[in-house]
Amino acid sequence: MDIIIKIAETDEEVKKCYGTMSQLRPHIKKDEFLSLVKEQEQAGYRIAYVEDGTEVVSVAGFRMSQTLARGMFVYVDDLVTDENQRSKHYGDKLIDWLIDYAKENSCKEFHLDSGVQRFSAHRFYFRKGLTISCYHFEKILDND
């Protein structure tokens, strides 16, 4: 397997991540993807991706942050492998890369949230040594 993992630095690199990212975030339209990523980059958001040949097969949207509770940490907002490329260890390699990136940047912790319905993803995260450390609560606000 001759793969490359890197951070999307250019508009073209970001755009080529859309096909895989849209499998996790289908509500985002292709023509708005780049501008949404650019907005989030202002708050430290980055996209790391796995490329096998010329095909993007796995992507992760993440940010490095610091809080009083956690100190420096990496938080993964989005993590998905192309549905036609699963079980080929691309996700394994990407999560390992993200954890190494966190360590290289003096982070003490690595975090991600996963929807309660994503059972196969949870099994993967447990295999990678992640634990369930807290409940995440939310309230959708009606701003009308």
Q: What is the pLDDT of residue 129?
A: 93
**Confidence bin at 118 (pLDDT 50/70/90):** confident
Average pLDDT over residues 115-126: 88
Tens of pLDDT, residues 26-37: 999 999 999 999
- Per mean pLDDT, which of 23-37, 103-117, 119-133 is the most reliable? 23-37
Share of the chain above pLDDT 70, in %: 99
For residues 139 and 118, give the distance between their C-alpha atoms in angstroms, rounded to a whole number. Answer: 20
Q: What is the pLDDT of residue 27?
A: 97
Average pLDDT over residues 71-88: 94
**Contact in structure between 7 and 60 (CB atoms under 8 Å):** no
Q: What is the pLDDT of residue 49?
A: 98
How much is the pTM? 0.89
Q: What is the pLDDT of residue 120?
A: 87
pLDDT averaged over every residue in the chain: 94
**Contact in structure between 54 and 73 (CB atoms under 8 Å):** no
Whether the pLDDT of residue 144 is over 80: the answer is no
